[in-house]
Amino acid sequence: MRSVEEKKPSRSLRPAQSKLSVLLLLVSTNLLSVYLFSGGMCPIIGGTDVLLRELKSTKSELAQLQRFMETLLRGRGDKAASDDVDGWPDEFPGEMKLVVGPHKLPLGYNHNLGTDKLFQPLGSACRRFREELAGYMTYEVGGACPSDEVFAQRLMLKGCEPLPRRRCHPKSPRGYVEPAPLPESLWATPPDTSVVWDAYTCKNYSCLVKRGRSDKSYDCNDCFDLKGREKSRWLVDGSGGVLDFSIDSVLATRPAGTVRIGLDIGGGSGTFAARMRERDVTVVSSTMNFDGPFNSFIASRGLVPLHISVAHRLPFFDNTLDVVHSMHVLSNWMPEATLELALFDIYRVLRPGGLFWLDHFFCAGEQLNTTYVPMLARVGFHKLRWATGRKRDRGIGKNEWYLSALLEKPIT
C-alpha cells in the first residue's frame, strides 16, 4: 500500500498574526468612516485643497497606526511561533511529549482515520491547566505511579477529561484476596484489602458505614451500608410516596426481556445496578470517588463501574441502551447548558422505545415549570409517569421540589 503523506497546513500566517491583521483592517476602516461621517466632508464647501490636506493627515495617522500594529505583531512573533501542536508549545517536559504530540502511523496514511498521524485523546480543558497536567505526567517510567488519585480526579472535574495514559504502575492493595462469587458478592461488604485507602479520610469499610450513620453530611451518606437503607431501595412502588418508583413497575412498561442493558448516572455504590442484575439486566454505573472508594466498591460487588464525570460525553454509541437511570445527580446544581447537553446525550444513547428514569430530580419551585419542564420538552421524550413532591430535608421554607419521571424515547 502506498504511503500518502497528509498535507500540512500553511504556516505563513499564524492565528495571532491573522487576528491582529484583521484588527488593523477594522481600526483603519473605522477611522476613515468616522472621518467621512463626522464632518470630514465639510471642507468640500471651502474647496478641494482643504479636503486633500485633511486626507493626507488621516493617511499619516493610519500609517503610524500600521507601524504600531506591525511592531506589536513582531513582539508576539516568537510566542506565536511556539504554538506548534494544536495550541500547545513546541517543547514539552518528559512524558508530556507522548500524550500531546501526534504520532506518525508506521504504515502511513490510514483511510479509516483520514490521516497519517495518531493523536492521543486528551480533554480540551487540559490546556488551561498545563502545570497541573505536567505534574500528573511526572513519574518514573515503568515504576510506581504517584499516589495522586484526588489530584487526578480534580483535574477531571475541571474538564481535563479524559486524562492521558501513563507508563507507570498504580499502587495495588496490600494483602489482596479474591472477591466473593456472584450472587453473594452483590450484598457482601468487600474486604478492606480490596482498596488502596491513601486518598480517603476513612481507612476501612467499617469507618464508612459508621460515617453514614452520623449527623454530618457526606456524598452518598449511607451508600456503603448494605444492611441499611440500600437493601430496600427500588423494591416497592410508592414505598416513600408517589416519587418512589419500583424497578419492577418500570420494567413492566416494556415487553418482558426487552430491557437488557443500561446505565446508572451517578450510581453511588452500585445498588441500582445490583437490583437490575438480579433481574438479568446489565447496568453500568458511572460514579466519582468523592472521599470514598465508590468505583472499587462497585467492582467488588461484581458490577461494572465507570469513572467519568457528569459533564463527560457518554461513551456509548447512538441508539444502543435500553434504560438510563439517574438519581439526584442530574439536578439544578448543574449549569442549565450543561444539564441540557447531558439530557440530549441520554436521548442519543437510548434506543427507540428506551426508558429514561429521572429519579428525584430536585430544583427550586419556581424553576420547575419555567426552566426544567420546557427543557425536557425540547429534548423530545414522551412521558410515561410523572410525579412531583416537596423536598423537605432542608425545611419547607426553602420551596424546593422533587420530580420523578419515567420518560420514553419515541419510536419513529
Q: Strand pairing partners for 264?
A: 285, 325
Looking at residue 165, its pLDDT comes to: 94
pTM: 0.78
Looking at residue 224, its pLDDT comes to: 95
- Chain Cα centroid distance, residue 324: 17
Looking at residue 11, its pLDDT comes to: 39
Looking at residue 212, its pLDDT comes to: 79
Element (H, E) at 354: strand 350-364
Provide the terminal-to-terminal Cα distance of the chain, rounded to the nearest Å.
Answer: 44
CA–CA distance, 265 with 114 (Å, rounded to integer): 34
Backbone dihedral angles phi then psi of residue 267, each to the nearest 5 degrees? -80, 10
Largest CA distance in the chain: 101
- Chain Cα centroid distance, residue 336: 14
Contact 56, 112 (CB under 8 A): no
Return the SS3 of 150: helix
Spatial neighbors of 223 by CB under 8 A, at least 6 apart, are 212, 230, 268, 269, 271, 292, 294
Contact 146, 199 (CB under 8 A): no
Alpha carbons within 13 angstroms on the beta-carbon side of residue 330 total: 30
Looking at residue 197, its pLDDT comes to: 97
CB atoms within 10 A of CB 262: 25
Contact 318, 348 (CB under 8 A): yes
Q: What is the DSSP string of 86-110?
A: TTEES---TTHHHHHS-EE-TT--B
Helix axis angle for 48-82 and 15-35, nearest 10°, is 160
CA–CA distance, 149 with 53 (Å, rounded to integer): 70
* Closest CA relative to residue 274, chosen from 237, 221, 234: 234
Q: Which residues of the chain have pLDDT under 70?
A: 1-87, 89-91, 93, 217
* Closest CA relative to residue 359, chosen from 339, 387, 380: 387
Spatial neighbors of 384 by CB under 8 A, at least 6 apart, are 253, 355, 406, 407, 408
Alpha carbons within 13 angstroms on the beta-carbon side of residue 103 total: 12
CA–CA distance, 375 with 368 (Å, rounded to integer): 10
